[in-house]
Structure 1
Amino acid sequence: MIWVAATLIAAVAQTGRNAAQAGLTGRIGTIGATAVRFIFGLPFAALALLVLSPFVSLPRLDATVLGWAALGAGAQIAATAFMLLTMRGQSFGVATALMKTEPVTLALIGALILSEPLGPARLGAIGLATLGVVLASGATWSRVAMRPVLTGVAAGALFGLSAIGFRGALLALPEGGFFLRALSVLVLTLALQSAVMLLWLALADRPALRGIRGEWRISLTAGALGAFASLFWFIGFALTPAANVRTLALVEVVFAQMVSGRLFRESTGRLQLAGMALIILGVGWLLAVAA
């Protein structure tokens, strides 16, 4: 059950990265804040692979791996932009909840594209945990604007599509253990994303590029946390269907509520606590099915 530990580590790191990245949006814009996680994450991932390379034989990257990685990279760029737009329109906890509808669409996409198993028990666990997310958000949904709801759900669906791309790339690698394959695909993905974002910023958003340089300290933190989180996401994807990883990752909503309470001074009510309990029950059910 290495994937369980990897997913929990990734969820904690991602909560910290989201909090750091959310603060950048107002200062350098949505596109600039989106680019930070890739541009500043790449050096950390590349350095780790460089340190490891003298001791292992690196996997060969072919066109199939590149195609899957490009799908995941592109979908993740779009998902991150939608995520930051949602965070501007709603509280941190609500935005996280909206995006965490991802496992439902991910399970369906995974079954169609990668022929991953999809049974009633697994769907039930995913559905229960997702219902918990909706309750844990603490939102009065009649007062939530439609635009943040749409951008949040779109972010979740795109994050799901990116997970499918990354898992496809990991499965397409012909050799290497799960850690080496995860790190190799991570470096490839971040390189693609950094190239796209730098080109876009240079051509269309020079102020954001200058803003990134000015905010390099917090950007460095967000990049490091992003690369660390992504590595452990990829380890999970290498070992089990992506929907299992993303459903277990719904515990991030609990972490997000903690962050909301401490950093953004948002209270936690009874309905939110009930939602967190459903998340835990759904995750426990999933682990029992996956065992």
Structure 2
Amino acid sequence: MGWLLGWPLLTVAAAAAQTARNAMQRDLTGRLGTVGATHVRFLFGAPFALLFLGGLVLASGEAPPLPPASFWGWVVAGALTQVLATALMLATMSRRSFVVSTAYIKTEPVQVALFGLVLLGDPLRLSTALAIGLATLGVILLARRGDGAAADRRDGLTAAGLGLGAAALFALSAVGFRGAVTSLPHADLLTAAAVTLAAALTLQAAALSLYLLWRQRATLVALLRLWRPSLLAGLMGALASQFWFLAFAQTSAANVRTLALIEVPFAQFVALRAFRQRPSRRDSLGILLIVFGCLLLLHSEMN
């Protein structure tokens, strides 16, 4: 049973579930809009998170630990940045293909290195500089949409900005959720991840539901009517988050981020099979440069 909870298998499972959820949310964006499709993962994921936690409590016979005040600070930070990141991700997918949007999201390790250089003055090794250069070149190739009209070029730059913004916010949310998991006193791995997931999704579902009830009631009604596809997307989202939390609690973020790049070929498969999207040669080269840049950067971090 131990190998089933090992971080490599958990990371691959999380990447697969996340790819499936992203595809389902992308498909719902046209009918629900960006905010409505963003809410799918939270509103329909929260019940599954509560079921996970309840099943764990029943199986163990022990009540979950009482979270300290610091836990709620981390959860709120992680939850808020994740909501914003998801909205930006779906906005990116409305402008570029599924796999290109996924590649933008995977620039997160490179952005962390750049933030450290610019804001903290972290030393820049040759391998790190090369990794940043490769990934940056990949982003430039993806942002340039050939020699089309000026509107197309502007749209490509907008998609790049949205995708890079989503990646940065996802990085911040991962920090918040890891802080929440590790702040729980005397909690085993499974319990800490389940409590964090249930708290985050419940908070996100309540906040976005109130917002839609106040500003976009028609969107909330449409979302509830589409409960069948939304329920599956919520389940995939809850599973992905549970697996991510478990993986991050077992090993360094660098290890998980490296293996998580498997999400790019997963997205390529979905783009071809579900959306009939075949990347151009320029897009393929840009995606490869981003992946190689991230791999080089993460390899240098672990050595």
Bin for the TM-score computed over the shorter chain: 0.7 to 0.9
Equivalent in the alignment of 1:42: 46
Contact 1:103 1:126 in 2 (8 A): no
Cα distance in 1 between the residues matched to 2:258 and 2:221: 38
Instruction: Using the TM superposition, give the Cα deviation of residue 173 of structure 1 relative to its aligned residue in structure 2, in angstroms.
Output: 1.3
Alpha-carbon contact 2:135-2:289 (below 8 Å) kept = no
**Is 2:139–2:290's contact at 8 Å kept on the other side of the alignment?**
no
Q: Tell me how far apart the structure 2 counterparts of residues 129 and 5 of structure 1 sit (CA, whole Å).
A: 28
- Please name the residue that 2:23 is paired with: 19
Contact 1:97–1:136 (Cα < 8 Å) also in 2: no
Summarize the Cα distance change of 1:102–1:282 in structure 2 as closer, same or farther, 3 Å threshold. closer
**Structure 1 residue matching 2:187: 3-state secondary structure:** coil
User: Matched residues in 2 for 1:52 and 1:132: separation?
Assistant: 46
The Cα of 1:242 is off from its aligned counterpart by 3.0
- Pair 1:148 & 2:154 matched: no
Question: Following TM superposition, by how much is the alpha carbon of 1:249 offset from its aligned partner in structure 2, in angstroms?
Answer: 1.3
Q: Cα deviation per residue 1:148-200 (whole Å; 9 max; x = unaligned)? A: 11111111111111011011111211122222211110011101101111110
- Is the CA contact (8 Å cut-off) linking 2:75 and 2:176 kept in structure 1? yes
Inter-partner Cα distance in structure 1 for 2:113 and 2:42: 26
Structure of greater Rg: 2
* Contact 2:93-2:101 within 8 A present in 1 as well: yes
**Contact 2:43–2:205 (8 Å) recurs in 1:** yes
1:3 lines up with 2:7 in the alignment: yes
- Superposed CA deviations along residues 91-149 of structure 1, whole A, max 9, x for unmatched, are 11111112221122345669999x9x999599579759957975996974674622111
Q: 1:268 to 1:148 in 2, by over 3 A?
A: closer
Tell me the percent identity. Answer: 42
Residue aligning to 1:70: 76
DSSP 3-state at the match of 2:29: helix
Query: Is the counterpart of residue 161 in structure 1 residue 167 in structure 2?
Result: no
User: CA-atom RMSD, angstroms?
Assistant: 3.3
Unaligned runs of 5+ in 1: none
Matched, 1:279 2:291: yes
User: What is the Cα deviation at residue 202 of structure 1?
Assistant: 0.8
TM-score (norm 1): 0.85
Cα distance, 1:254 vs structure 2 = 1.0
Deviates more, 1:13-22 or 1:266-275: 266-275
Cα 1:112–1:288 shift into 2, 3 Å = closer
Quick check: 262-271 or 122-131, which moved more?
122-131
Whole-angstrom CA distance in 1 between matches of 2:141 and 2:272:
13
**1:133/1:250 contact within 8 Å kept:** no
Q: Does 1:79 align with 2:95?
A: no
Q: Write the distance in 1 (CA, Å) between the matches of 2:8 and 2:253.
A: 12
Aligned pairs, number: 289
The reply on whether 1:105 has 2:111 as its aligned counterpart is: yes
Distance 2:241 2:270 in 1: 20
Q: Which amino acid aligns with 1:93?
A: V
| Alignment pair present for 1:52 and 2:56 | yes
Q: Which moved more, 1:273-282 or 1:32-41?
A: 273-282
Q: Deviations over 1:254-288 (max 9, x none)?
A: 11111111112222566627955983796498479
Show structure 2 runs of 5+ residues with no match.
148-152
In the alignment, the residues of structure 2 paired with residue 198 and residue 237 of structure 1 have an alpha-carbon distance, to the nearest angstrom, of 29
Q: How far is the alpha carbon of 1:26 from its aligned partner?
A: 0.9
User: Contact conserved, 1:83 with 1:151, CA < 8 A, in 2?
Assistant: yes
Does the C-alpha gap of structure 1 residues 128 and 217 become closer, same or farther in structure 2, counting only changes over 3 Å?
A: farther
Q: Distance in 2 between matches of 1:79 and 1:36?
A: 14
Secondary structure (helix, strand or coil) at the match of 2:39 reads helix
